Amino acid sequence: MSISKVFHPPSHTKTAVPQSRRTAWGITAVLVLLYTINYSDKILLGLVAQPLKEEFGLTSAQIGLAGSLFFFAFAVSGFFAGAINKWMTLKWSLTFLAISWAICMLPMILAASFAVLLVSRILLGFLEGPSGALIHTAAYSWHPLEKRALPGAFISSANSVAKIAVAPALTYVIITYGWHASFIVMMIIGVAWCALWLSTWKEGPYGEKRKKQTTPDTSEPTDTNTDAARVPWTAIFRTPTFLAATAAVIPMYALLTVVLTWLPSYFEKGLGYSRLEAGTMFGFPSIAALVAMFSVSFVSDRLMSRGVSSRLVRGVLPAAGLLICGLSMVVLPYIAAPAMTVVVVSVGYGIGCIVIPVMNAAISQICPKPQLAGTLGTFLALMAIGGVVAPYATGRIVDTAISPAIGYSQSFQAFGVLAVVGAVIAMLFINPARDADRVMAHQKSS
């Protein structure tokens, strides 16, 4: 028997746990909504970039700096997800974070300036950093190990939903009422989510702390807290799966942050579309991402449930998508037609997005339940390193390029090369089942 099954038993061994798939997906939907707010806060800078440049006389490098500082704080605070999960319950930690994001909108509403922009984005990044790991931990408590790619895809789809649905709406608000109004809208939405969350959340049957649960042999409640199953953190972080998955998601996240920060500007200043058209087309890559993520994640979960190797399903398959994405970005400078550029960016980026939910599922496979939030927090924090570099680097490239169109395409090309390298590493080294056994063997021998 695989050692990893000691800590991640198959879902059929939990038949005594009362559960509702409707409740599971309902709570997952509420968490997706929170992640949509999270990403909407991120894309807000991209949507107001040109109005801010015009009002305050900012350069592209300054806007890029604000984006990079956000992701720097985002990356740093991501390492605290495990600690927050110990200090507070998921119910109250996510409530606190959502309220904090809303408050971070106030400085730009009341006293906007470049300095205020920098400070508020840094604070927002610091407060958003732990949320990804906590949101995934909450959602995974309602889904068994072999069926986590699809709920992970729904969570990751928040990025796409934000660009498809929220970005056009915020663009309309910005054009009609001014950019200040968009910050007010996001503040109101954040507070409203908290009311929904507090009335719906409860932890699922696959979470860490199920202290009152009946077993097949008795009606007496038993304590199933798995704290004793902890292993040294280095046993998890040094596995080839963790390291290779990190190498894959960093360049993909770099591309994601370039899209969040600069894609509307690319479409407007680089390709010649109007501001409203650029805000609307902001959702095109996300439509492609939604189709790719849901298709691949659904297939991934089905294959895992049927016993197909996790190395193939959660390693080779998403790495192939990242490879296609990287190659599509590499050819961008050689495309002359604006419409074709939009198509290549959209399709390539969309296919590459499958790497994030599937890699999250792979990471959840190699660690014990009590260390899931901490492991995912570290993984997502390392992933955010791409966001620390990419927005500012893109701004500098655009400022020094012959034209905005050339600058943006060269930036996408550079991160596309890194994506190709990450994809190759992932194909060669990711093997969740093997590394789960290694991690648990380490715990058994210690």
In the predicted model, is pLDDT for residue 370 greater than 90?
Answer: no
What pLDDT does residue 167 have?
A: 86
In the predicted model, is pLDDT for residue 389 greater than 90?
Answer: no
Average pLDDT of the segment spanning 169-180 = 92
pLDDT-based confidence at residue 193 (cuts at 50, 70, 90): very high
- Calpha distance 222→215 (Å, rounded): 7
What's at 407, amino acid-wise? G
Topology given in CATH for the domain delimited by 19-207+230-445: Growth Hormone; Chain: A; (1.20.1250)
Asked if residue 363 lies in contact with residue 241, where contact means CB atoms within 8 angstroms, the answer is yes
pLDDT tens, position by position, 100-123: 999 999 999 998 899 999 999 999
- Highest mean pLDDT, choosing among 271-285, 331-345, 411-425: 411-425
- Calpha distance 433→366 (Å, rounded): 7
Global pTM exceeds 0.85: no
| Domain limits, the chain | 19-207+230-445
Give the residue carrying structure tokens 């199953």: 229
Closest to 375 (Cα-Cα) out of 435, 325, 420, 415: 435
Average pLDDT of the segment spanning 161-178 = 89
Quote the percentage of the chain above a pLDDT of 70. 90
222 three-state secondary structure: strand
Average pLDDT of the segment spanning 196-225 = 60
In the predicted model, is pLDDT for residue 214 greater than 90?
Answer: no
pLDDT-based confidence at residue 71 (cuts at 50, 70, 90): confident
Closest to 368 (Cα-Cα) out of 1, 7, 5, 2: 7
What pLDDT does residue 297 have?
A: 87
End-to-end CA distance of the chain: 20
Helix or strand (DSSP H, E) at 310: helix 310-311
What's at 153, amino acid-wise? A
What pLDDT does residue 230 have?
A: 80
pLDDT tens, position by position, 86-100: 899 999 999 999 999
